[in-house]
Amino acid sequence: MSLQIGAFFPTRDMPPDHLAIRDWAQAAEAMGFDFLEVSDHVLGADRAALPDFQGPYDVDDAFHETFVTLAYIAAVTQRVGLASGVLILPQRQTALVAKQAAQLDVVSGGRLRLGIGVGWNPVEYEALGQDWHVRGRRQAEQIELMNRLWTERSVTFTGAFDRVQHAGINPRPIQRPIPIWFGGGAEAVLRRAAQYGQGWIPLGQPDERTAGQLERLHDYLRAQGRDPQAFGIEAWVRSSIGGPEQWREAAERWQALGATHVTFYTSGQGVGAVAQQIEAMRQFHAAVQA
């Protein structure tokens, strides 16, 4: 099966233990995984104190910081690719993200793929001082500015959300620009992915809805003068759907839809502690490679 195979960092199950993180990352690399992916949340809401809050995660769910975790994984591995999945870009300062991503690309030897999203948690946006209501528009502008910061020595940029006057980041990344992949299924996300991205992360299931999204994404890519066959698609296979046979079947359905990457998602799925996470990864890799 000619898929790139990834492992999703089990952030909700990972203890605050650098040796556990090291063991997980090195085990995945030794098994032959092509990339490791780390998710993003800066803050979790206190559900008990916010009765109107709705969301899949809250203050009791552990989320290891994305850039720091990826940088540590880069230091304890040698070849495996690194990805964010997905970084909530509009709640962060644009120039700072560009700087952090550039440095991560440098220390990893050019292994970074930046997966981005707009998020779902207004509580987090408010705490970080950003406007929840303009997140999509801000994301589009941020990508334009980051690409310039990654590729130009000195940048002058005036947008609706950011202003840079004759300044740049140094060092710049090895990859110029760093590849950006978009997570999410909203129509506006598909349009932005077609205009600015190198890939799409559906976050859904290999069903008719996703097939329709892919058809429209291909239309948007062609309208941009881009080849859909050169555009990446990363699917997540959650461990909770069953065992190795079900995981392989899901990967095959995704591949039939055109997926180029498949990621084994175990975070918060009841797999267990790090030793059990590593064993589940071994079974998934073997099943998909069979």
- Distance CA(243)–CA(284), nearest Å, equals 8
pTM of the model: 0.96
Which residues fall within 8 angstroms of residue 280, CB to CB, at 6 or more apart? Answer: 239, 264, 266, 271
Alpha-carbon distances of 76 from 19, 21, 72, 202, rounded to whole Å = 10, 9, 7, 29
> What torsion, rounded to 10 degrees, do the Cα atoms 124, 62, 136, 190 define?
-160
pLDDT at residue number 1: 47
Q: Residue 212 has which token pair?
A: 């329709």
**How far is it, in rounded angstroms, from Cα 223 to Cα 206?**
25
Strands (E), the chain: 4-8, 35-38, 81-88, 112-117, 155-158, 163-167, 180-183, 199-201, 232-238, 261-265
Residue 11: helix, strand or coil by DSSP?
coil
Per-residue confidence (pLDDT) for residue 2, from 0 to 100? 77
Residue boundaries of the structural domains of the chain:
4-289
Query: CB neighbours (10 Å) of residue 32?
Result: 11
- The phi, psi pair for 233, rounded to 5°, reads -130, 120
Q: Which CATH class is domain 4-289?
A: alpha beta
Mean pLDDT, contiguous 10-residue spans, the chain (290 residues): 90 98 98 98 96 94 98 98 98 98 98 97 96 97 98 98 98 98 96 98 95 98 97 98 98 97 98 98 95
Query: What spatial distance separates the first Cα and last Cα of the chain, rounded to whole Å?
Result: 8
Alpha-carbon distance of 24 to 40, in angstroms, equals 18
Q: How far apart are CA 49 and CA 216, in angstroms?
A: 41
> CA dihedral defined by 217, 114, 86, 149, rounded to 10 degrees?
-100
Rounded distance between C-alpha atoms, residue 136 and residue 227, angstroms: 24
Helix, strand, or coil (residue 7): strand
